Amino acid sequence: MTRSLLITVLLFVVSASLSAQEVAGDTTLPKAGIRWLSLEEAETLHRDTSRSFLFMVYSEDCHWCQKMTEETLSDSSVVGKINTRFYAVRFTMAKAGQFFISSMLLNVFNKQNLPAIFFFNENFQPITNTSGYQSLEQFQPYLEYTSDTKYYQNMNFDDFKKTWDNIQSIKNTRKS
């Protein structure tokens, strides 16, 4: 079974079992922040409007998770892009049903550090992922790459990242 098919099957199985538990979307960020949805909410919205998915695995007692949420994921450009182009779902390691999904994502993609962010296209196929704290400058290429099909359908992330780094270097040179 391919990785994307395995993840799709597991997400649907787990979401069906979680729906009885009424896992609500995360409302810990201010209304101007990222609109975190429950998996069920994301699935329901996806039926009407197809978008890519952003899954974040975190722990409430993880310093780097809090730092990334407060610094990187609260930037207005990041918030705007995530809210308009993705269905964003957070899974905490502290809740039983979410722990299963979190563990599955971390294991399938061989990630060991939190926070971990996984990007999937509208067909639940993995695009790319990252783990560990990402500053705004480190996270922007992931967000740009995954939010536009012209990038991820035409080149792998490593090639995109080299292009991104070259463009940023030219921009920085012009500012000086």
Q: Is the pLDDT of residue 73 over 90?
A: yes
Tally of structural domains, the chain: 1
What is d(CA 49, CA 87) in angstroms, rounded to the nearest whole number?
10
What is d(CA 155, CA 127) in angstroms, rounded to the nearest whole number?
11
pTM, entire model: 0.80
Contact predicate 98/14, CB 8 Å: no
Q: Token pair for residue 52?
A: 């890519």
What is d(CA 145, CA 157) in angstroms, rounded to the nearest whole number?
7
Mean per-residue pLDDT, 156-165: 89
7-26 tens-digit pLDDT: 654 555 445 444 433 344 44
Report the alpha-carbon angle 33-156-170, nearest 5: 70
Burial status of residue 141 (CB atoms within 10 A of its CB: 0-12, 13-18, 19 or more)? buried
Smallest CA-to-CA distance from 58 within 136, 132, 120, 109 is with 132
Q: Can you give the residue range of the structural domain that contains 114?
A: 3-175
Top-confidence residue, 147 or 170: 147
What is d(CA 158, CA 30) in angstroms, rounded to the nearest whole number?
34
**CATH classification at residue 35:** 3.40.30.10
Residue 24: the pLDDT is: 43
- β-pair type (126-131, 52-58): unpaired
Q: How many CB atoms lie within 10 A of CB 33?
A: 18
Write down the residue that tokens 């639940």 correspond to.
124
